[in-house]
A and B are shown apart, each in its own frame.
Chain A
């Protein structure tokens, strides 16, 4: 995937870049259909995800659905979330020569879904060195001002603020922007500009790991907002020493007396020298590798 110098500069300065038409409608519909199966406990591999909220039945009907660790549950989804192209895209924006799986998450906000706290993704990857990891957030259906668009604060990735503990993001009992106000105050920027991101289905925004973002309530009476986010680690990443950072999901896979991220848990998805973790070839296809038009058709637009 070709990223222009202007796009990279925009990402570095603003903390995000928008990629139009990263996936086509057939692909977004396929992802939605496979994720729907997972939420009904139909796991192709029989392996369960790393994180799962909004399970039908035990959860309130308007609860936000979130599932992380999709790749182990379903190999069709793995073909997207472990794709070389998206890892390459994320890595290129960060200036990395190698990219490793970090997190893959499906989000669905049904009508009346509650807000989601503002946060930095780096809070969740802080057990990793380097902790800053980009996330490619792909709209799976049209995301409008009405149906809970992603809200970002451009340039907030440059704020110097204290490290934070993980908080549960869903259905905050207070204003979902409170963590943002606190961080902005720390950064001496008390009136940050929040920008809602409207995206057509298949288009994406790549977020810097330190960019503040969140989302409000879904005010649409009928439209669920669904998205797929793919977080990429630096291929050379290690664990921080034990006890550093927030363990979240990452520390579950930490091997005793080792700082290595094992490729079975965190496979290398793209590398400048074409290396890719070998087992991936047996496990799943690369949904975007064979799409020769992918790089050419991924028109890009930059918003500021």
Chain B
């Protein structure tokens, strides 16, 4: 079934301008409380390895059997594991907003991520998503929709941004997200200095469940230590332009992280089986989606 075109713009010209200036934009109540509750009901089961479809995620860092307490959990590529989660990740509206903010004619899902940060969980090093999402062309073009699944607020390891840092040059990959000896801001600060910014400001977001932030692939972001007595839960939806291709490569794409695993040799196609198109301005949407998560 093709998408029903939304007639009214989902974001205003002012919001687009704000996104271009800051590198991020808050969109409140993108998902309903019922949708969020449905996903939260699956959350602990997913981390415990109970996958509705029987398919394991691309990444699964932390489980209740062998994981340390007070440590962040991260899963990637979870849409294949659970159709309730997929129904949110494949959101046509989120895809359309991403395209509108970026000026794309359509949006393709690259991957998703499910995060939890329990009390005392350490900081997540500030980084740029484009450090890890560089298997495709146009190079570095990616947008993330960060969805609060619990109340996100300062002190509780909410997402934080350096406004305007998406205009800095792209840096090399941050080697470790989760545990490190250096300050979680240090690599961002080094990049700021290189960009001529001696005093970068970090903004911590306040969001209710179901609200989200769309952020540019080059913006520096991360999260602080969770010093509150709450578990922060969030979902990320990572988009690339619908007409993206894999970069030309020989035997493999260096730094291909997860996406490049799905590249076929001698073929630059990003197969919709793995990277479905969630919205396109001509109404096209990858056909299997509607039967998959309905």
Contact = CB atoms under 8 A, between A and B. Distances in A.
Nearest to B287: A256
Contact of A60 (B61, B66, B176, B251): B66
B61 A55 contact: yes
B66 A255 contact: no
Contacts of A165: 54
Interface string B160-201: 000000000000010110110000000000000000000000
B14 interface: no
A215 interface: no
Contacts of B288: 256
Contacts of B260: 46-47
Nearest to B173: A46
Contacts of B54: 127, 165-166, 245-248, 251
A57 B61 CA distance: 10
A119 to B, nearest CB: 14
A107 B141 CA distance: 37
B77 A279 contact: no
Nearest to B286: A256
Contacts of B229: none
B35 to A, nearest CB: 24
Interface residues of A, number: 46
A265 to B, nearest CB: 8
Interface stretch (B4-12, B67-75, B210-218): B67-75
B232 interface: no
B19 to A, nearest CB: 29
B18 interface: no
B273 A256 contact: yes
Contacts of A276: none
B49 interface: yes
B243 interface: no
Contacts of A160: none
Contacts of A283: 251-252
B263 interface: yes
Interface in B222-236: none
B59 interface: yes
Given A251-B80, A264-B264, A59 B68 contact: yes
Given A46-B256, A48-B258, A57 B179 contact: yes
B256 A45 contact: yes
A64 B178 contact: no
A47 B256 contact: yes
A165 B251 CA distance: 35
A47 B132 CA distance: 10
Contacts of B56: 50-51, 247-249, 252
Contacts of B263: 264
A34 interface: no
Contact of A247 (B53, B77, B255, B266): B53
Interface in A44-98: 45-48, 50-55, 57-60, 63-64, 69, 72
B75 to A, nearest CB: 11
A245 B53 CA distance: 10
A279 B252 CA distance: 10
A37 interface: no
A256 B56 CA distance: 18
B62 interface: yes
Contacts of A63: 66
A279 B249 CA distance: 12
Contacts of B103: none
Nearest to A57: B179
B67 A264 contact: no
B15 interface: no
B60 A52 contact: yes
A46 B59 contact: no
A117 B274 CA distance: 32
B48 interface: yes
A106 to B, nearest CB: 16
A63 B68 CA distance: 10
A168 B251 contact: no
Contacts of A249: 55-56
A254 interface: yes
B60 A255 contact: no
Given A41-B176, A57-B179, A248-B54, A279 B251 contact: yes
B68 A171 contact: no
14 contacts: A47-B256, A48-B58, A48-B261, A53-B60, A57-B68, A58-B61, A59-B66, A60-B67, A63-B66, A170-B65, A247-B51, A256-B273, A256-B288, A264-B263
Interface of A: 41, 45-48, 50-55, 57-60, 63-64, 69, 72, 114, 127, 165-168, 170-171, 173, 245-249, 251-256, 262-265, 279, 282-283
Given A54-B66, A249-B55, A251-B55, 5 more contacts: A47-B257, A57-B179, A60-B66, A256-B271, A264-B267
